[in-house]
Amino acid sequence: MHLSRWLRYLWVRFWFSAQMAWHGVLANPLRSALTILGVAIGVASVVSLMGIGEGARKAVVHQFKSLGANVIVIRAEDPSVEFEPDEVPELVERVEGLEKATPVVHTQSLMRWRRARGMVDILRVNEQFPEVRDHPLIAGHFFTKWHVEQRSPVAVLGYNFGTGLMGGRNPVGHTFTLNGITFRIIGVLAPKGAGNAEEIDNKVLIPYTTAQRFAEKKTVEEIWGKAGSAREAELAVVQLGRIFRRKLGLDQSAPTPVPVNGKEGLPEGLPGKPLPPRPGGPPEPEPTPPPVLAGGKNLITITNLNQLIKEADKANRVMTLLLGGIAAVSLLVGGLGIMNIMLVAVTERTGEIGVRRALGAKQSDLLVQFLLEALYLSGIGAIAGVAAGIWGIKIFSQYGFETAVSLQAIEIAIGVALASGLLFGVYPAVSASSVPPVEALRR
């Protein structure tokens, strides 16, 4: 019973201090409104800027994910090392975990559709493209292995291309002409969205073998592979790196052919170890590994898109936090505004403080009162700032920006606003509670 009475006593004192604090806020509406405005601007800045950053992060990650999961891109950075299409099935057999692969060539060709003519983007691939890129079809079917082997003149259209060709009607079964060759449309890909999957919605896909009829070269610049899992993709990248280093003569752990007695053969030693001396002569010099390229440029790049997604996500998160940190400076300014207003309030209300002390108010009561005033101002400002920030995010999205309402940003902004109000309200509250009653009444 004694404990409950004591708790009730504390609650009554706290409730009275809270009422006094609220009356203190309402006593100067203009001053309080300006203080709330400063906090609201800071919170709105944090919420809106972090919302824009979060939206940009999600857009970038979505663009990479639209290329497919566990995809490995092998790209020749120099024409001298471009790939033969026959290497693709060989890589699938040699590399553990690599389930599918397709050669890829990006080109443009003159297309004739009825009376219309124009240049279109062509993607030359094999029959495994939908599995590699996780890209289903909404009409028809993709070309098969038989189509590739027979160099059949068939085509699959990207979504925008397919829907725009006949005003939204299904184009499957119709024909068009590419470089004088008539192609039959057998399928339409599902939409990926603007800016995703390398704008696949606006391209035409044909078998790479069919395109060799009018192609200037028979080699391909890229190979896209598909691993069974993220772990297998990482292992496949390592194995592919070894395969192509050996192919280019860059693997220092493999024996390197060197001239021996005018003929090419294998040395008796390995690179990194001196060769045994020839009878009656100096030691054979160690063969120098061939350079990659002048300037250190890689001949072949092997990219795991899973890793690329992680790096892009990490970089964009850092950028979002930087934006939030910059916006948080305005919260600091709002906190200083609270401190300034509270110090003015203490000076103006010294007489009130003296009367309360003379009537029995304790130092802790005054401390709680002025702290609550600071929390009222920062709390109302935080709520108004969150509403303004969400409204700002919607405005940015209407103008084409990628945005997202970040709950983490809202939590951080509210937490920082309340913490700044409490922090910057401590000194004025201590100053108010430490004024002696007699001196306060004298003032």
Give me the pLDDT at residue 112, please. 92
Give me the pLDDT at residue 442, please. 62
Give me the pLDDT at residue 200, please. 92
Q: Which two tokens stand for residue 300?
A: 């072949």
Q: pTM for this one? A: 0.67
Give me the pLDDT at residue 437, please. 67
Give me the pLDDT at residue 401, please. 79
Give me the pLDDT at residue 318, please. 82
Give me the pLDDT at residue 269, please. 38
10-residue mean pLDDT profile of the chain (443 residues): values are 75 83 85 87 87 84 83 89 90 92 92 89 94 93 94 94 88 92 94 85 93 79 92 92 84 46 38 44 41 55 88 81 78 79 74 70 79 89 92 87 83 86 80 68 58
